[in-house]
Structure 1
Amino acid sequence: MTTDESEAVDAFERLGLTSYEAKVFIALHRLGSGAARDVADVTDVPRSQVYSVAESLENRGLLEVQQSNPIRYRPVSIEEAQQTLEERFDRERERAFDYVDSVRKEATTEETQEDIWTVRSRERVDDRVVDLLSQATDKIVIGTRLPELLTDSIERTLEERAAAGVSVLAISRNDEIWERIDAIDGVEIETPPAYREGDQRSGRIVIVDDDGILLSVIDDDGSETAIWSSGSLFASVLIQLIEASDELRPGSGLE
């Protein structure tokens, strides 16, 4: 079996077929039609297994059976098979998520809610930052020393929130960040006058209103890891501690 065929079999397995079902279905498309012996000759599926596999594929609506001697099988068209598998996937997806939704709704108010969450990878941190910023109704403070952490989607969100009347403050020492923030109406930017020499680990800080916060660090391999919390006592207390310290004042190191 070629690499491409092996990958196709793996893909069919992810769509819900067994390995044998995928191999028989592919073999029949290669043959056009055939008996169990023909299928067994071009696959590693034992001839004795082809019959039950073909019956399963027939039940799935993926092949047709000719009642001859010997019995012959013909696959449905690719278009019909694709539609059948898509409809099956949609049904299974709805069944799975409907159940999860029902379980979620059954949860009692006494359930313990996690206050602190961890998110890894720059793309996922980007998404979380945008989500937090989008929830702001009063104020936003965002700081970073790295231009690549101020993405286009984050800039657009800052602009949208500022236009909606939210107070937006950016903190950075980086000239590129200054230029980009300066071009956004309604967004202020400040420069911390002190710099912590050798700081190569800080990523970004985001504070939203009085109860949303995200803090990230840059890992040794250049990836980003963040902790965040929103609407929690933990977030409120941490924000108060940061605002009471010098972390958002000159010398903070959020450059």
Structure 2
Amino acid sequence: MESIIESLEKFGLTRYEAKAYIGMTNLISGKAEEIARASEIPRSKIYNTLKQLDKKGFITITHTRPLEYHVVPPSEIFKNKKDELIKELESSQEKLDEIYNDNISEIQAPVWLIKTSENIINKEIEIIKRARKSINMRIGFLLEGEGEALIKAFKELPRGVPIK
């Protein structure tokens, strides 16, 4: 139970909100008093807790007298939260890559100590992806999988970047 609460807290829920949501998954729907009992949350805290869960999309409220609360299925919640997180991470990565790529050309070319064929190929691909003006390469022997990786990276370059 504690691990579920911690997972829900990672989604931005408070401890009471996490406990209320867990209680709601047992009840499916109910009134505030029932949810407070099932969740072991003080009645004085349950109304605000449920209001916040509604705002965050974890439950819905039917405006009857008394109010009735309905749980949003966990599979729907987790799918939406995963999608939001992935979009946020991809956006951050794009912005950081842009900053990095804009500034990398302004520093002196670094010297790298790279171990393993996979890391060598990954560094080549990284350099190719940063190219904006042209690419000049001399290729002697190829490592296993290097040719395919280079061709794929070349195809993903923006139009107009000459390759020699």
TM-score w.r.t. length of structure 1: 0.41
Larger radius of gyration: 1
The equivalent position to 1:53 in structure 2, one of 49, 54, 76, is 49
Hey, which bits of structure 1, 4+ residues long, moved more than 4 A?
A: 111-117, 135-140
Partners in 2 of 1:22 and 1:44 — Cα distance?
A: 11
- What secondary structure does 1:74 align onto? strand
Where do 1:30-109 residues align within 5 Å? 30-107=26-103, 109=105
More helix by share: 2
**Correspondence for 1:178:** none
- Judged with a 3 Å threshold, the aligned counterparts in structure 2 of structure 1 residues 105 and 26 are, in CA distance, closer, same or farther, namely same
The alignment yields a C-alpha RMSD, in angstroms, of 3.5
Gaps of 5+ in 2: 125-138, 148-164
Partners in 2 of 1:11 and 1:26 — Cα distance?
A: 11
Residues 107-162 of structure 1: CA distance to partner in whole angstroms, max 9, x if unpaired?
36445787568xxxxxxx9xx6242354695579xxxxxxxxxxxxxxxxx6x27x
- Judged with a 3 Å threshold, the aligned counterparts in structure 2 of structure 1 residues 38 and 102 are, in CA distance, closer, same or farther, namely farther
More strand by share: 1
Structure 2 counterpart of 1:73, one-letter code: Y
Partners in 1 of 2:15 and 2:78 — Cα distance?
A: 17
Gaps of 5+ in 1: 118-124, 141-157, 165-255
**1:64 offset after TM fit, Å?**
0.9
**Correspondence for 2:14:** 18
Asked whether the equivalents of residues 63 and 75 of structure 1 are also in contact (C-alpha less than 8 Å), the reply is yes
Residues 181-232 of structure 1: CA distance to partner in whole angstroms, max 9, x if unpaired?
xxxxxxxxxxxxxxxxxxxxxxxxxxxxxxxxxxxxxxxxxxxxxxxxxxxx
TM-score w.r.t. length of structure 2: 0.58
Residues 48-85 of structure 1: CA distance to partner in whole angstroms, max 9, x if unpaired?
33323322322232211021333221101233223322
